[in-house]
Structure 1
Amino acid sequence: MATLVKTPSGTWKALIRKHGWPTTSKTFRTKRDALDWSRRVEDEMVRGVYIQRTASERMTLEQALKRYLSEVSPTKAPKTLLSEQGSAKNLVRRLGGYSLAALSAELISGYRDQRLSETTRRNTPVSNNSVRLELALLSHMFNVCIREWGVGLPFNPVLNVRKPSAGRGRDRRLTPDEERRLYSAVDAHSNPFLGYIVRVAIETGMRSSEVTGLRRSQVDLRRRIITLSSTKNGESRVVPLSMAATAVFRQALDHPFRPIDTDLIFFGEPGAYGRRRPYAFNKTWQQIRNRLGMRDLRFHDLRHEAISRLVEIGLSDQEVSVVSGHKSMQMVKRYTHLRAEDLVERIDLLRKQRQI
C-alpha cells in the first residue's frame, strides 16, 4: 500500500515501496491525484508492466537531443553529423520545451504539418525529405532513450506518425552537348584536379567525399580497382575502374607538383597547421556550372549519370549495386534514369538479333 504524506508546502507526496521493485515517489497538488497515481502504479507493478516514468517526465526533448548529438551522432559520418545538428535545431525550436513523456503522436504530427507548410531561406518550400530526416532523427533518439539510456517510455511515439512521401528521385541527366561543354570548362580551370574529379565521378559513380578523400594506397592501377573503406552506409566496397578512369588516375598520380607531405590524390593547400586537406572544389564547381547555364545540375547528379550509364551498357542491378554501394535494388532503381531515345536504339538492335 502506498504511503501518502502531506508536505509543509501543502502538496501531497505518494511513496510506494513494493518488494522486487525500486522505491518510487511523486508529488501532487491534491490528495486525490496522489491516491489515483499510487493505485495505478501499484496495479502496473502487480501486472508486471510498470515503467519508471520519472526520467522521461523530467528530461526535455532539448536535453535528450543534446545528449544524442554528443554521444551518438559523433559515431556517424561527418556529413551525417552536420545534417543531424541542423535537424535537431528545427526540432528544439518547436518541441524542445516538452518532456519526453509529453511528446505524443499528435504533437509530432502537428510538427510535421507545420514544417511542410514553411519555406526555407531561399523562399522555397521545405522538402518532404528534410522533414523525413528530422522525424528519423527523433525516432532514433527515442529508441536510444528506451533501449540504452533507461528512460521510462512505454513506446516510441514517432512510430505512430505518418511520414511524408519520399517524392520522386532526381532524374537530371547530362546531354552530350552539356558533357562536352562541362569537360571543356573544367579542363580550362587553373587547377587540373577539377577536371580529374569530374571525370572520375562520371566514370565511377563515386560520391564527392569518396573521390576527394582518396589516398594513393586505395588505388590499384594494375588491377584497376579502388578500395573504399569508409562510405556513407558504413560498409567498404571495391570500385572497378574503366580504361578512361584509369587514365585519369595515372595523370593525377603523375602530377609534377605533387608534395611529399600528403597521401591524398586530390590535395588542397596546407591549412593553419601545415596539414593538407582534400581539394575543396564546391565553390568553383558552382561558378562554372552557373556560367554554363546549368544551375540545376548538382555534382551528385554525376553519380546518377554514372549509374544510369552502367545500366545502359548492360550491367544487371546486382552488378550495379556492387559498384555504387547501394544495399537495396530499390535504391539502385531510384538512382537509375534511362533515356527513352537510347532504349529505342537498343530495342531495334535486339529485334534485329532475334530475326537473325
Structure 2
Amino acid sequence: MATLVKTPSGTWKAVIRKNGWPTASKTFRTKRDAEDWSRRTEDEMVRGVYIQRSGSERMTLEAALKRYLSDVTPTKKPTTQRGEISKAKKLIEHLGKYSLAALSAEIIAGFRDKRLSESGHKGNLSNNTVRLELALLSHLFTVAIQEWGVGLTFNPVLNIRKPSPGEGRDRRLSPDEELRLINAVNAHSNPMLGWIVRIALETGMRASEISTLRRHQVDLERRVLRLKDTKNDSARTVPLNRFATEAIKSAMNNPIRPIDCDLVFFGEPGRDKKRRPYAFTKVWGTLKTKLKMRDFRFHDLRHEAVSRLVEAGLSDQEVSAISGHKSMQMLKRYTHLRAEDLVERLDSLQRGRG
C-alpha cells in the first residue's frame, strides 16, 4: 500500500514501496489526486508495466537538448554539429520550457505549423529546415528512451505529419552573374576566395570539402583530389579540369603559407596558436549582397557545376563519381538543365540525322 503524507506546505506526498520495484513518490495538491496516482501506479507494478516517469517529468527539453549537444552531437561531423546547434536554438526558443513528458504530438505539431508559417512572413525558411528540426527532436527522444532511462514510453514526433521536402533548388548562374562573381572574388584582398570559388564551380565540391583540403590530398601530376572525409562518408577522387588545376596550383604555391601548415586554404592562428581552414562565409555573404545576388548560395555553385557536367554529356554514373552523390534521385534534384541548351543539342542531333 502507498503511504500518504501531508507536507508542511499543505500538499500531499504519495510514497510507494513495493518489493522488486524502486521506491516511487510524487507530490500532489490534493489527497484525491495522490490516491488516484497511487492506485494507478500500484496497478501498473502488479501488471509489470510500470515505468518511472519522474525523469521525463523533471527534465525540460532545454536541459535535454543541452545534454544531447554535449554527449551526442560531438560524435558527428563538424558541419552537422554546427547545424544541430542552430536547430537546437529554435527548438529551445519555442519548446524549451516543456518537460519531455509534456511534449505531446499535438504540441509538436503546433510547433511545426508555427515554424512553417514563418516561411511566408520572412521568405527564407524552407520546409526542409523544419523537417531537419523535427528530425533532431525525434532523435533526441530516441536517445532519451534508449539510453538515458528517463521513463519515456514513446517518441511523439513519430505521430505527426512531416512537411514535404519541397522541390530542389534550381538557381543557376547567368553568364553576366558568373562574370561579375569571378571578377569580384579575384579582386578580393585574399586570393584564396577566388581559388575556392573557381574550384567549387569547376568540380562541384562542397564548401567543407574544399576548405578542409590538405596538401597530401592533391595530386597535380594526375590532376586529381583525393577526398576521404565527405558528407556521406564515402571517399572519392575528384578529377580537375584546366581551370580547377590552375586554381589548385596557385593555392599550393601560395607564398604566404606557413611552412608547417598542411591546409591548402588556411586561416589565421586562433588563441591556441592552431591554424584552421580559411573561414569565408562572412566574406561570401557581404560579396553577394554587393553584387545584388542575395538569393545565390555558395552551395548553388555545386548545383551549377553538376548541371554543367550533365550538359557536357557525362553519364549519370560519371557525374555521381565526381560529385559524390550516392542516389540517382538526389543527383536529379541537384541537376537543372537550361531549356535553351537542350534546344541546341536537339538541333545538333537533327542535323546529324539530316
1:111 maps to what in 2? 111
Residue pair 1:105, 1:161 contacting (<8 A) in 2 also: yes
| Equivalent residue, structure 2, for 1:317 | 316
1:239-285 Cα deviation digits (max 9, x unpaired): 22234322321232233443313111122344445433323333443
- Determine helix, strand or coil for the equivalent of 1:165: coil
- Of 123-132 and 109-118, deviating more is 123-132
Q: Structure 1 residues 282 and 92 mapped into 2: Cα distance closer, same or farther (>3 Å)?
A: closer
> How far apart are residue 101 of structure 1 and its match?
0.8
Q: Check if 1:61 corresponds to 2:61.
A: yes
Aligned twin of 1:94? 94
Measured at CA, do residues 52 and 320 of structure 1 come closer, stay the same or move farther in structure 2, by a change above 3 Å?
farther
> Taking structure 1 as reference, are residues 284 and 114 closer, same or farther at Cα in structure 2, changes over 3 Å only?
closer
Which residues of 2 match residues 281-296 of structure 1 at below 5 A? Answer: 281-296=280-295
Aligned length: 352
Pair 1:266–1:6, CA change in 2 (3 A): closer
d(CA) in 2 for partners of 1:153, 1:161: 17
What is the rounded CA distance, in whole Å, between the counterparts of 1:212 and 1:150 in structure 2? 40
Counterpart contact for 1:267–1:278, Cα < 8 Å: yes
Distance in 1 (CA, whole Å) between partners of 2:114 and 2:267 is 42
- 2: CA distance, partners of 1:185 / 1:51: 62
Structure 1 Cα separation of the partners of residues 324 and 153 of structure 2: 37
C-alpha displacement of 1:58? 1.5
- Distance across 2 between alignment mates of 1:193 and 1:125: 29
Note closer, same or farther for the CA distance 1:284–1:6 as it changes in structure 2 (3 Å cut). Answer: closer
Distance 1:168 1:37, change over 3 A: same
1:196 CA drift (Å): 1.4
Q: Which runs of 5+ in 2 are unaligned?
A: none
Structure 2 residue 5 is the aligned partner of structure 1 residue 6: yes
- In structure 2, relative to structure 1, the CA distance for the partners of 1:92 and 1:255 (3 Å cut) is closer
User: Is residue 204 of structure 1 aligned with residue 194 of structure 2?
Assistant: no
Aligned residue in 2 for 1:26: 26
CA RMSD between the two structures? 2.7
- C-alpha distance in 1 between matches for 2:271 and 2:34: 62
Please list, as runs of the form range in 1=range in 2, the aligned pairs for 1:13-162 lying within 5 A after superposition. 13-19=14-20, 21-118=21-118, 123-124=122-123, 126-162=125-161
Q: What is the TM-score with the length of structure 1 in the denominator?
A: 0.87
Offset of residue 28 of structure 1:
3.6
What SS class does the counterpart of residue 25 from structure 2 fall into?
strand
- Residue 215 of structure 1 is matched in structure 2 by 214
Cα distance in 2 for residues equivalent to 1:124 and 1:261: 45
Contact 1:5 1:14 in 2 (8 A): yes
Distance verdict in 2 for CA 1:30–1:256, change over 3 Å: closer
TM-score (norm 2): 0.88
Alpha-carbon distance, 1:351 to partner: 4.3
Bigger shift: 135-144 or 307-316?
307-316
Moved more, 273-282 or 339-348: 273-282
Percent of aligned pairs with the same amino acid: 65
Deviation at 1:123, TM superposition (A): 4.7
Point out where structure 1 has 5 or more consecutive residues left out of the alignment.
none
Question: Partners of 2:42 and 2:273 in 1: how far apart?
Answer: 65
